[in-house]
Amino acid sequence: MGFLPPLGLAYLQAALDKEGHLSRIYDMDRGASLADVLAVHPDIIGIGSASFSFRRACSVAAALRTQTKAPLVLGDAHAWVARAAVLKDSSFDVALVGEGELRFPRLVGLLGEMEAKKIRSMDGLIYRDAGDIHETSDAEYISDLDALPYPSFRDLQKYRTLPGRARRRIRWEMER
């Protein structure tokens, strides 16, 4: 069990909040279930996956696909590495490649409005269209990290943080 909450998810939630999108984070490693996710009737479902957990992410997406028509979006490291292959034999509709703090809120808005033509013009996406897989141009990196909203930890309360003394010790060891 890790001590620190997933900072990337906290940044994504803050970015979604800033754009007026209602969001929830469910961590299946912390006891959340598919029923928890489906109980809120989501309009879009994002799933993050590193390469080592991609099979599990695909299993979760396949189970969700049998119970919802909400678009399933894959993000995180594996989408960066595997690119279009992530959609080939999976239930995901879209993969977000690169940093998502600015693009994921935009994608959520476009999917909500079903603006397929605008989705095709977004950078950093891999998507399905009429059974074919398409990839847009690479996204730019975020150049001004200070412009990002402060991370939201409201759905990440099950994580424990390191005690202050341990944090100081770790920082001291790293600085040596």
For residue 146, tell me if it sits in a domain. no
Distance CA(89)–CA(98), nearest Å, equals: 21
Instruction: Give residue 42's pLDDT band: very low, low, confident or very high (50, 70, 90).
Output: very high
Q: Which helix (H) or strand (E) holds 128?
A: strand 125-129
> What is the average per-residue pLDDT within 139-154?
91
- The answer to whether 54 and 86 are in contact (CB under 8 A) is yes
Angle of helix 103-113 versus helix 7-18 axis, rounded to 10: 50
Instruction: Give residue 112's pLDDT band: very low, low, confident or very high (50, 70, 90).
Output: low
Q: What is the pLDDT of residue 91?
A: 95
Query: Residue 146: pLDDT above 50?
Result: yes
For residue 143, tell me if it sits in a domain. no
pTM for this model (two decimals): 0.84
- The answer to whether 12 and 101 are in contact (CB under 8 A) is yes
For residues 51, 55, 58, 60, the Cα torsion angle rounded to the nearest 10 degrees is -110
Give the model confidence (pLDDT) of 23-41 as tens digits: 999 988 888 899 999 999 9
> What is the average per-residue pLDDT within 51-79?
94
- The answer to whether 107 and 118 are in contact (CB under 8 A) is no
Give the model confidence (pLDDT) of 75-108 as tens digits: 998 998 899 999 998 999 999 998 899 889 989 9
For residue 145, tell me if it sits in a domain. no
For residue 144, tell me if it sits in a domain. no
Distances (CA, A) of 172 to 7, 164, 168, 169, 176: 22, 12, 6, 5, 6
**Higher per-residue pLDDT: 122 or 157:** 122
| Beta pairing, strands 94-96 & 72-75 | parallel
What's the alpha-carbon Rg for the chain, to the nearest Å? Answer: 17
For residue 1, tell me if it sits in a domain. no
Give the model confidence (pLDDT) of 7-18 as tens digits: 889 999 999 999
Q: How many domains would you assign to the chain?
A: 1
Distance CA(121)–CA(166), nearest Å, equals: 47
For residue 122, tell me if it sits in a domain. yes
- The answer to whether 24 and 157 are in contact (CB under 8 A) is no
CATH number of the domain enclosing 124: 3.40.50.2300
For residue 2, tell me if it sits in a domain. no
For residue 64, tell me if it sits in a domain. yes
**Higher per-residue pLDDT: 14 or 112:** 14
Q: Identify the domain containing residue 82 by its residue range.
A: 7-136+153-175
